[in-house]
Structure 1
Amino acid sequence: MSDEIATPEGTALHAPVARLLRPLVRLFVARGITFPALTNLLRELYVNVAEYDFALPGKEQTDSRVSLLTGIHRKEVRRLRGAGAPVSAVPAVVSRTSRIIARWLADPKFTDGQGRPLPLPRSGPGEAPSFEALVSGITRDLRPRAVLDEWLDRGLASLDESDRVVLAEAAYVPRGGGEPQLYYFGRNLHDHIAASVANIVGETPRFLERAVHYDGLSEDLARRLEARAREIAMEALSQANREAHAACQTDPGGDHRWNFGLYVYAEAAPPPAPPGRL
């Protein structure tokens, strides 16, 4: 790499950042995001971060200081400034669906003794567990029948032989590269990276960010560990969801958010790169 980084701290980031970006670049190339398009996006982000995240208390952030922080010419800085900090809006379908699924997985009325989501009749009397009661407890803006039709069409739920609504495994993880999957792609990777960055730049590590990893495994063992890790992870996520759901019932609310995430990954390790190559 020929570009220079001024500080030793920046130079030390070269290798880990290259490793971090490699799968993203693979996605960019696969989805048609060219290098010039990425450059334009990065230029906007550099200016935005410098403008909003590195402003000095009580002082106006100037074009000259943003230019100094980013290495971007003042003329370009002036053109790009003032756009406001990026806002990650939650798509309506994602917000509604995730809240309904979270309740189905956490509320004791809709789960069995092992915490698994119950098959639900379409409707039922009063407060009896039903898909209608589940949806109505989250939103009154849509008819439960409309939500059910959407879920059946998307494969998020199915009907069993007793005409009860069954939550499909596909509901846990959006697929297909559509809006829901891409939203969580951005949100979850952002939070994982933000936690790691906060631990690096902060005086003491604040967030839990750890992994268990073994190298030199057979393919069979790697697959078995992947499957077992998936089971452990789902148990942890289900427990965290139940406790968070219960705690929210008495919480007064506020402006904070919380995210608890897990990932499992396995691959055939590539050969070591030659010295000086990424």
Structure 2
Amino acid sequence: MSETINDTGEGTTLHAPVARLLRPLVRLFVARGITFPALTNLLRELYVNVAEYDFALQGKEQTDSRVSLLTGIHRKEVRRLRGAGAPVSAVPAVVSRTSRIIARWLADPAFTDPEGRPLALRRAGEDGPSFEALVAGVTRDLRPRAVLDEWLDRGLATLDGEDRIVLAEAAYVPRGGGEPQLYYFGRNLHDHIAASVANILGDAPRFLERAVHYDGLSEELALRLEARAKEIAMAALTQANREAHAACAADPGGSHRWNFGLYVYAEAVPPAGDAFPADDALPASSEAEA
């Protein structure tokens, strides 16, 4: 039985923005060898999963027929794919451990100077802050020496002339396309898109989602604005981390999570056959109409 796509109604208005959203992802898929048939299988599973769990009617059993109606996928396929459970994104151990230690180093007044910069730490000792105390305050499952050796090898920390440990970057920034970087790739894009979707589907915008954007710039100015935006963004992230770390000390804990993210992007726009309109050179701060 062939499947049909409903190209009428509100769905058609999503085609252009979704195509733009997916284009960089398709570039990644092709680069990493995810073929179209493989992506189709993944999307089919996700469609069934979302319809089964996110669109269930309260007090009623979700049926194969209703999932088929919502997704356009044949009932036989629905029956085969149902029951897998909602996807779980496990945090890699190295990501959880490293990010928590760095977050404490950047936020805890015991490990920062009066201006909020991370201190250079001695390896151990009771007289003042040390790397051993920093790690022990987050986890006692690992020896601080093992953590330090790993960080030095990965370039997350360096040793200064006094053999003190210096944080190399004011954030945990995984690289190389490995498991840690791909974890944050999925997590951060998920949360950004989830916030936008919630704003679109909700009665009123709940989540802040804004961008300042200028078009028709010279390469020099675009690079200068990119660098300055990174400075502003890191200052905001550092302040948010410091306040969240302090607030957690008195929080009883629970099942919620919070994410505050920023992004900076710039590119050369290929010619589209005509020049940029004059209005494109004007500043704009836009909030998703969601």
Query: TM-score w.r.t. structure 1 length?
Result: 0.95
Structure 2 Cα separation of the partners of residues 155 and 7 of structure 1: 53
Aligned-CA RMSD value:
1.4
The equivalent of 1:120 in structure 2 is: 121
Where do 1:26-175 residues align within 5 Å?
26-125=27-126, 128-169=128-169, 172-175=172-175
1:124 positional shift: 1.4
- Residue 176 in 1 paired to residue 176 in 2? yes
Q: Give 3-state SS (helix, strand or coil) of 1:33's partner.
A: coil
Structure 2 Cα separation of the partners of residues 68 and 98 of structure 1: 43
Structure 1 Cα separation of the partners of residues 187 and 153 of structure 2: 25
Deviations 1:16-69 (A, max 9, x none): 000000000000000000000000000000000000000000000000000000
The one-letter code of the counterpart of 2:86 is A
Which ranges of structure 1 fall in alignment gaps of 5 or more residues? none
1:271 positional shift: 3.0
The equivalent of 1:245 in structure 2 is: 245
Structure 1 Cα separation of the partners of residues 232 and 171 of structure 2: 19
1:110 positional shift: 0.6
Q: Give 3-state SS (helix, strand or coil) of 2:212's partner.
A: coil
The equivalent of 1:202 in structure 2 is: 202
Structure 2 Cα separation of the partners of residues 54 and 5 of structure 1: 19
Deviations 1:84-120 (A, max 9, x none): 0011111111001000000000001111122111110
Whether the 8 Å contact between 1:99 and 1:138 is mirrored in structure 2 is yes
Deviations 1:71-93 (A, max 9, x none): 00110000000000011111111
Where do 1:260-271 residues align within 5 Å?
260-271=260-271
Which ranges of structure 2 fall in alignment gaps of 5 or more residues? 275-290
Whether the 8 Å contact between 1:155 and 1:170 is mirrored in structure 2 is no
Structure 2 Cα separation of the partners of residues 227 and 111 of structure 1: 25
1:7 positional shift: 3.7
Structure 1 Cα separation of the partners of residues 83 and 221 of structure 2: 53
The one-letter code of the counterpart of 1:19 is R
Whether the 8 Å contact between 1:156 and 1:170 is mirrored in structure 2 is no
Whether the 8 Å contact between 2:106 and 2:170 is mirrored in structure 1 is no
CA 1:54–1:190 in 2, change beyond 3 Å: closer, same or farther?
Answer: same
Which structure would you say has the larger RCO, counting Cα contacts within 8 Å and 6 or more residues apart?
Answer: 2
Structure 2 Cα separation of the partners of residues 162 and 51 of structure 1: 59
The equivalent of 1:11 in structure 2 is: 12
The one-letter code of the counterpart of 2:107 is A
- Residue 185 in 1 paired to residue 146 in 2? no
The equivalent of 2:227 in structure 1 is: 227
Whether the 8 Å contact between 1:156 and 1:171 is mirrored in structure 2 is no
Structure 2 Cα separation of the partners of residues 270 and 56 of structure 1: 47
Whether the 8 Å contact between 2:5 and 2:72 is mirrored in structure 1 is no
* Count of aligned pairs: 271
Percentage of matched positions with identical amino acids: 86
Whether the 8 Å contact between 2:157 and 2:165 is mirrored in structure 1 is yes
Structure 1 Cα separation of the partners of residues 75 and 273 of structure 2: 38
The one-letter code of the counterpart of 1:218 is S
Deviations 1:193-228 (A, max 9, x none): 000000000000000000000000000000000000
Q: Give 3-state SS (helix, strand or coil) of 2:166's partner.
A: strand
